[in-house]
Each structure stands twice: as structure tokens, then as C-alpha cells.
């Protein structure tokens, strides 16, 4: 089982360094996870890391860390980003690309990475391509998870997150032992602002409007793998694991 790496450098950016990155994996993976909101990218990222190592680089997590005041005062660009996120809209390409550029060290980290939530537009994909080329890093695989809309709505609607340690739960599929309380740290479970019905609708629209060109960008590069994300997290992980071990 792999050590879950510290993500301080990713979550805080700037000069922040990871405190305890743990042992370097024998094979550092460089993988992108694509797919609609709530399809299970974060859930799969946890399982991939447990089994294969790598660091979970989620752009959504960086915005949520800023929202919870983890990185000190919020800049005007970040304030705008947090407003867009709350409504379920995409944050502007310029803000997201700058945010990743400020953390470019994470793209050449010896632990490898699982990028989740970035890129979401063709322009972001091209910007990432430039950053990876400059860092001398090649993508091993891009995984595109798909699921029917009613399944996505059920997953997002039941999601709860721990305020303290950010662990994810689901009211039906991954319920905490005590309702409303995190099994791991005893923190309070809450529903993300953008998991409320109105914002979810906007997020799905944004996804439909921008996802295809990103998928086609990676298909043309020959690194795209489509995975049907129906089934339990373990079943989806089995498919993911098989794809990764074959690349």
C-alpha cells in the first residue's frame, strides 16, 4: 500500500513545500482524470494512489482550500474564481492556468501526479501541454470516465465532505458510521455549495459545453482511455488499474 503524499505545495502554491512526501514510488505515474462532475474522479484518485502511488492534484481542491481560508488573504482573482465556483460555472482559463503555472513544480515531482479537474477546456489543455513539455514530463494516460446523467445526479446529491479532513462520503454508498460525523477525525460532514441542485445543473451545462474538445485533443495524441464509471468504486478501479498497467 502506498503512502498518501502530503499536498502542501499543490494546495498552497507559492514557496510552500511538502512536509512529508514519503518514499518515491518506483514508477511515478503521470495521469489525467477527465469526466463530468460527480462521476467519481476523486474517489478513483484515492484508490489509484493507494495502489500505485502519485499525488492527487485537483484544481477544485485548491479553490476549496482558498475558500476555507487555508492560504491566507484571498486575492481579487481568487475571489472572482470562488464566486464562479459557488454558482457552478467554470473559473476563467487565465485564472486556472496561472494557478497551475504557479505550481508547475508539482508536474515534475518524483512522486508523479494524478491531475483531476484540469484541463477542462481546449485552451487549458494546450497550456498544460506547454507546461509538461517545458518540465520534460510525458503523460502516461488520460482517463475519461463516463456515466448516465441520473447516476451522476445521484452521486453528487448524496455526497458529503468532512469540514476538517476533507474526506468524502456518500449518504447511500459510503455512509459514515454516525450520521453527519466523519469516521476518520470526528469532524462535521457538510454538503458542498456547488452540490446543491441549481449549481449542479450549471456544472453539467458547463461540462457539456467544454468537455468534447478536450477529449478529442487527447484522443488525437493517442493517450485517451474511456472507462464506463457505472458500478461500485472497486469495480471502476479494477478497470482503471487494468488500463494503467497496460500502458
Which residues bind to ligand AP5, rule: CB under 6 A? Answer: 35, 37-43, 58-60, 63, 84-85, 88-91, 96, 117-118, 120, 124, 155-156, 158-159, 168, 170, 173-174, 194, 203, 231-233, 236
Nearer to ligand AP5, 3 or 166 (CB): 166
Is 120 one of the catalytic residues? yes
User: Nearest approach, Cβ of 55 to ligand AP5 (angstroms)?
Assistant: 16
Nearer to ligand AP5, 110 or 242 (CB): 242
User: Nearest approach, Cβ of 38 to ligand AP5 (angstroms)?
Assistant: 4
Residue nearest to ligand AP5 (CB): 60
User: Nearest approach, Cβ of 23 to ligand AP5 (angstroms)?
Assistant: 26
Catalytic residue among 159, 167, 221, 239: 159
Helix, strand, coil percentages (3-state) for the chain, rounded to 5, are: 45, 15, 40
Is 192 one of the catalytic residues? yes
**In sequence order, which ranges of the chain are alpha helices (DSSP H)?**
8-12, 41-52, 59-67, 76-87, 93-101, 122-135, 149-157, 197-221, 233-245
Is 159 one of the catalytic residues? yes
User: Nearest approach, Cβ of 122 to ligand AP5 (angstroms)?
Assistant: 12
Is 87 one of the catalytic residues? no
Q: Are 217 and 210 in contact (CB under 8 A)?
A: no
Nearer to ligand AP5, 58 or 244 (CB): 58
**Spatial distance between the Cα atoms of 42 and 149, rounded to a whole number of angstroms:** 18
Question: What is the dihedral sign for C-alpha 219, 128, 17, 43?
Answer: negative
CA 41 to centroid of chain Cα atoms = 6
**Spatial distance between the Cα atoms of 22 and 5, rounded to a whole number of angstroms:** 6
Nearer to ligand AP5, 5 or 117 (CB): 117
**Size of the chain, expressed as the number of residues it contains:** 247
**Catalytic site positions:** 41, 120, 159, 192, 203
Amino acid at each position: 500500500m502506498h503512502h498518501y503524499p502530503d499536498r502542501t505545495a499543490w494546495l498552497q502554491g507559492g514557496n510552500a513545500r511538502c512536509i512529508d512526501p514519503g518514499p518515491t514510488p518506483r514508477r511515478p505515474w503521470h495521469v489525467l482524470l477527465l469526466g463530468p462532475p460527480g462521476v467519481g474522479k476523486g474517489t478513483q484518485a484515492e484508490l489509484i494512489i493507494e495502489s500505485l502511488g502519485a499525488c492527487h492534484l485537483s484544481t477544485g481542491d485548491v479553490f476549496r482550500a482558498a475558500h476555507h481560508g487555508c492560504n491566507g488573504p484571498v486575492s481579487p482573482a481568487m475571489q472572482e474564481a470562488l464566486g464562479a465556483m459557488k454558482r457552478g460555472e467554470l473559473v476563467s482559463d487565465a485564472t486556472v492556468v496561472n494557478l497551475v503555472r504557479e505550481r508547475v513544480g508539482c508536474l515534475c515531482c518524483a512522486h508523479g501526479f494524478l491531475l483531476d479537474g484540469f484541463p477542462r477546456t481546449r485552451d487549458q489543455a494546450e497550456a498544460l501541454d506547454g507546461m509538461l513539455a517545458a518540465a520534460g514530463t510525458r503523460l502516461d494516460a488520460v482517463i475519461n470516465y463516463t456515466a448516465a446523467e441520473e447516476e451522476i445526479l445521484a452521486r453528487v446529491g448524496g455526497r458529503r465532505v468532512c469540514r476538517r479532513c476533507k474526506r468524502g462520503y456518500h449518504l447511500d454508498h459510503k455512509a459514515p458510521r454516525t450520521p453527519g460525523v466523519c469516521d476518520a477525525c470526528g469532524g462535521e460532514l457538510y454538503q458542498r455549495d456547488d452540490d446543491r441542485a441549481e449549481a449542479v445543473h450549471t456544472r453539467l451545462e458547463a461540462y457539456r459545453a467544454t468537455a468534447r474538445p478536450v477529449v478529442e485533443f487527447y484522443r488525437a495524441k493517442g493517450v485517451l482511455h474511456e472507462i464506463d464509471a457505472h458500478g461500485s468504486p472497486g469495480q471502476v478501479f479494477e478497470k482503471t488499474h487494468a488500463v494503467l498497467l497496460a500502458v
